[in-house]
Structure 1
Amino acid sequence: MKQMRHFSEATLPLFPQGDEDEAVMTAPVTGRLPSYIADHRKRLRDRFMETGGQGVADYELLELILFRAIPRQDVKPLARRLLDRFGDLARVVSAPASRLLQEHGVGEAVVAELKLLEVVAQRMARSKVMQRPVLSSWTALLDYCHTVMSHAEQEHFRILFLDRKNVLIADEEQAKGTVDHVPVYPREVVKRALELGSSAVILVHNHPSGDPTPSAADIDMTRQVARACAVLGITLHDHLIIGKDREVSLRSERLI
């Protein structure tokens, strides 16, 4: 009678393996973690659960994420390398898959775990603002915009569509651009607002440089959109430019 192979990990990865370093992948699979790795993983999980994550360093949080994708390897060196390479945990999670795959020890399973976390974070932030009046959830709205856009390496242009009570009824990405430009067509903004029955809009785009200071082109485009909206009775409430650590409101700056 065949014996069942036992694994010391409590759970198997959500996604297929394929990320372990080449030496690990070619070595015979014993089905059991070395005791020092198993003990470290248990201690880290226990500390995370006992403290609710308080006091757990970013590299340790990244380790916890990597445990699932790389079940039979010490992932601390990889976690530290990724943080050194990209700068912080948020930038690791939001890094493009193509750049992540360039890092030694990162394969499709690691990328899938990181992208899963990114999507969950974005949807949690989005759930706090959708179908709610923007004035009463302005801080949550800014948090959402930063979660989705502040770490992107290209410019992204979004439109937030509001109804007559300023409730956010739709949030759509309209275009992607380069590191310093994204094409915006006022006619398309107005057309989509009419399709959704929106009475007001908020424009949002990011500056990959991290500096949200509006350019002359940003200001000119915003004023073009404002004029196109006004013709059909649609209000342009604001244009937010998202940087790494802060945002700029063109309305607050009296640029529209």
Structure 2
Amino acid sequence: MKQPKGKPAKNATAGLEEAQAPHFHGHRQRLRDRFMEGGDTALADYELMELLLFRAIPRRDVKPLAKAIIERFGSFAEAVAARPERLREIDGLSEGAIAELKITEAAARRLARGALEKRTVLSSFSAVTDYCRTAMAYAEREEFRILFLDKRNALIADEVQGVGTVDHTPVYPREVVRRALELGASALILAHNHPSGDPTPSTADIRMTKDIVTIAQPFGIAVHDHLIVGRNGQTSFRGLKLI
């Protein structure tokens, strides 16, 4: 049967569309397939970043951009945790793409926090450490966080009490205890990050922790631990026998 004039055959149309498809479309599908088959460990950091950028930047080869992001920040985790204003310094990174990165960071925190809820925190202390690392280890400024626990050591609240500079966060021990009394907490786990990456406690960290323990004790509020997290690991005051 002859084809009507002016209308290419179906096979010819398919071939034309295939020829016009951007070269990176096949790469995107292959990357998705590799991720679904092997998980995140099957991908390099920049490849995982590519997967995030696909949705926000659908009509462009994002591999060079993904590599530039990882090169700037050092790793996938550090890039996702970077502040929006720093992400905006990357040429070609749209507001939509920045939103995708921050949504990913929020999802990771929500998943890690979910492991702490509705259970006895001290029975799964590794989940506490994992959560604190996820929430703060790659932050560019110091944050002081408190996990407030009830009599069964279940989580009542998780609050950031202060955000400071790259090497200091102001902490007021009496305010920490006041907040614990407001929430009816029986115990606390303190946590903060060291943006330098080194989780070694400073003299000021040790003094501040002892002040909180001293002020909390008459009210029957225990301080179970103080965790310091950084990109190079974490430190437990209880593990170091500082509490």
For 1:224 and 1:147, locate their aligned partners in 2 and report how far apart those are by CA, in whole Å.
Answer: 27
Bigger proportion of residues as helix: 2
SS of equivalent residue, structure 1 residue 67: helix
Among 67, 73, 95, the alignment partner of 1:108 is: 95
1:173 is displaced (CA, Å) by 0.6
The Cα of 1:150 is off from its aligned counterpart by: 0.4
Pick one of 8, 26, 29 that aligns with 1:39: 26
Query: 1:20 — aligned with what?
Result: none
Give the Å deviation of 1:132: 1.6
Deviations 1:145-171 (A, max 9, x none): 000100011100000111111112211
TM norm structure 1 = 0.85
Match of 1:175 among 162, 167, 189: 162
**Which residue of 1 is the match for residue 56 of structure 2?**
69
Larger Rg: 2
2:220 is matched with which residue?
233
Conserved 8 A contact 1:130-1:170: no
Task: Count matched residues.
Answer: 225
Greater alpha carbon shift after TM alignment, 73-82 vs 164-173:
164-173
The corresponding residue for 1:218 is 205
1: distance between equivalents of 2:208 and 2:29? Answer: 54
State the shift of 1:83 in Å: 0.6
| CA distance in structure 2 between the aligned counterparts of 1:139 and 1:226, rounded to whole angstroms | 23
The equivalent residue for 2:108 is: 121
Q: Distance in 1 between matches of 2:42 and 2:196?
A: 30
Deviating more after overlay: 215-224 vs 127-136:
127-136
Q: Which amino acid aligns with 2:82?
A: A
Q: CA deviation at 1:35?
A: 3.1
Question: CA contact under 8 A between 2:148 and 2:188: conserved in structure 1?
Answer: yes
CA distance in structure 2 between the aligned counterparts of 1:50 and 1:253, rounded to whole angstroms:
42
Deviation at 1:39, TM superposition (A): 1.3
Q: For structure 1, which runs of at least 5 residues remain unmatched after alignment? A: 1-31
TM-score (norm 2): 0.89
Which sections of structure 2, spanning at least 5 residues, go unmatched?
A: 1-18
Identity %: 57
Moved beyond 4 Å, runs of 4+: none
Indicate how the Cα distance of structure 1 residues 207 and 33 shifts in structure 2: closer, same or farther if over 3 A, else same: farther
CA-atom RMSD in angstroms: 1.4
Q: Is 1:79 the counterpart of 2:79 in the alignment?
A: no
Deviation at 1:53, TM superposition (A): 3.7
Q: Does 1:188 align with 2:188?
A: no
What whole-Å deviation, never above 9, does each CA across 1:83-131 have from its counterpart, x for those lacking one? 1110010001111100000011112111100000000000000000123
- After superposition, the C-alpha distances for 1:3-32 in whole angstroms (9 at most, x for unaligned) are xxxxxxxxxxxxxxxxxxxxxxxxxxxxx9
SS at match of 1:35: coil
